[in-house]
Amino acid sequence: MEYNINPSVFTNVFVFPSAIADKYLKLCKGEHLKVIIYILRSSSNKPSMQEISDALDISLYDVEEAILFWADAGILVTDNISKTEKTKVLKKSLKPDRDDVAKRGLEDPKIKYLLAETQLKFGRCLKTNETQTLVWLYDDLGLDVSLILFIVEYAIQNNKKNMRFIESIATDWADKEIETIEQAEEQVRLLALYDKSWAVVCKAFGIERRKPSKKEETLSLLWVNDWKISPEMLKEAYDICVDSKSKYSFAYIAKIIENWHNNGYKKVEDIKPKANDKMQGAYDIDLFEKMLNSKD
């Protein structure tokens, strides 16, 4: 198949070091490439690790590993990460090859059990990369077999029967030092609350049910679960935002809801003008602007 580059794409470009293409394309992982492209494209803003994680839908561990990889390659400069830390993370990212997996399965009955149980749960033979990941979770991350199988079951129940999702959850829990089934169950309960709260917010705002940013996730839980903000109140905040800004702004809506909460407003009637007010049935958008901007 022959191909040509569409010249129109060059109307909006950014600088990309040729060394990445010349030296590291064969060496880097897919996540490494995604992260460095995102960083280079957003270089003027210098995105945080969390922002990169949210934008690319990859774990914080993968982001850190990618940054350390490119720092070790000399593409990025990191002032606060020692060479020891770089070596530790890069070494940790290496997964066992097929021979190592087979050897570990013979040496350790726990690994043999882990692979067999996961295969039963998947309902098929495991692929080489899947067995490598499972052994890596046990040997390198140090997770207990029961906890790994708990994560596998959680992934299946959420229709995400893939090793990338399992690895993402496992590395996140390892960072949070979740080591027991009891801690895992509490984390799953919290994740369910986050998901339910975000679903309520999306429905109230009339927006697509996408993966939320960390801020959206945290505030959704606060509004729905802690402050008990009703869907009607959420929709009212959204409507006020759009009427005022002519666009959807999560940050602006957050200020509106915080103001209502601080003033003890519990229902829509509390925020609507009274019948004898001058602006009957309307909102004083200018007043809302002053109230919101007074905290900036």
Higher-confidence residue: 277 or 160? 160
| Residue 175: pLDDT band with limits 50, 70, 90 | confident
Q: For residues 256 and 237, is the Cβ–Cβ distance under 8 A?
A: yes
Largest Cα–Cα separation, the chain:
82
- pLDDT score of 90 more than 80: no
**Mean pLDDT value of segment 258-276:** 78
- pLDDT score of 289 more than 70: no
Q: Output the DSSP codes for 71-118.
A: HHTTSS--SS--HHHHHHHHHHHPPP-HHHHHHHHHH-HHHHHHHHHH
Mean pLDDT comparison of 65-69, 108-112, 114-118, 267-271, highest-scoring range = 114-118
CATH number belonging to domain 98-178: 1.10.10.630
Q: Where are the domains of the chain?
A: 12-93, 98-178, 188-293
The pLDDT value recorded for residue 211 is: 87
- Can you list the pairs that 194-198 forms with residues at least 24 positions away whose Cβ atoms lie under 8 Å? 194/220, 194/221, 196/224, 197/221, 197/223, 197/224, 197/225
The pLDDT value recorded for residue 279 is: 40
Q: For residues 93 and 114, is the Cβ–Cβ distance under 8 A?
A: no
pLDDT in tens, 46-80: 899 999 998 998 888 788 888 988 987 889 987 65
* Residue the block writes with tokens 């109140």: 233
pLDDT in tens, 199-248: 999 999 999 988 898 899 999 999 999 999 999 999 999 999 999 989 99
